[in-house]
Structure 1
């Protein structure tokens, strides 16, 4: 399971011109589900995302996690993160989870996240437009 996390000043997700989720300061989490993923991996990844220290403390060091920074999380499904890109000029998605498994684990991740912190979400498998102001920029690839 993969999370591409970006520290943002604000972020929103829209579908057909309608905003379906938005946050102010926090993390945009683009979530990719691979074929061997399960709820245990989803839980471990969520724990890491929420504990990852990417926000500045009073000394300017990245020493605070999103909860300590009083931030929020915007979770968006992104199956292209599971792409195999080592060969050729066209990505292969053979490492990606089936749509059923991916949706189940995306929902699980999002629901568990919302139990711990203010969370907004995109819509699984929808054609979405993401707007954000990346703070830093600060972007990390987390994989379990």
Structure 2
């Protein structure tokens, strides 16, 4: 891991922009940059989704930073970045963008996957889905 590998960590109420992550991972030493972009889909578990809302615990930003630091320490990366959206999102909106940059693509792929999986597991951000049939569901709550 390089010093200063955590480049961007944010939770935003405004629309996410992929280039905000990509721009933070632009170093001449990197031969591989991988991104994961999570979008709001129109279905879940066989039900139509009309929209959703993400809520974050007050500790979420600190936890997200910890996750980024841990992932950077586990992989030979030069940079990691993560942004997550909160608030009301429509179908097609970006919910999360994470990325990793490394000298080689395999490391970048592994770090990106580790980052999104660990984020989903440990950062207290919860999804409230609204279904087209009028139902609703909370996902990720304790």
- When normalised by structure 2's length, the TM-score is 0.31
Q: Which has the higher helix share?
A: 2
Return the index of the structure with the highest Cα Rg: 2
- When normalised by structure 1's length, the TM-score is 0.30
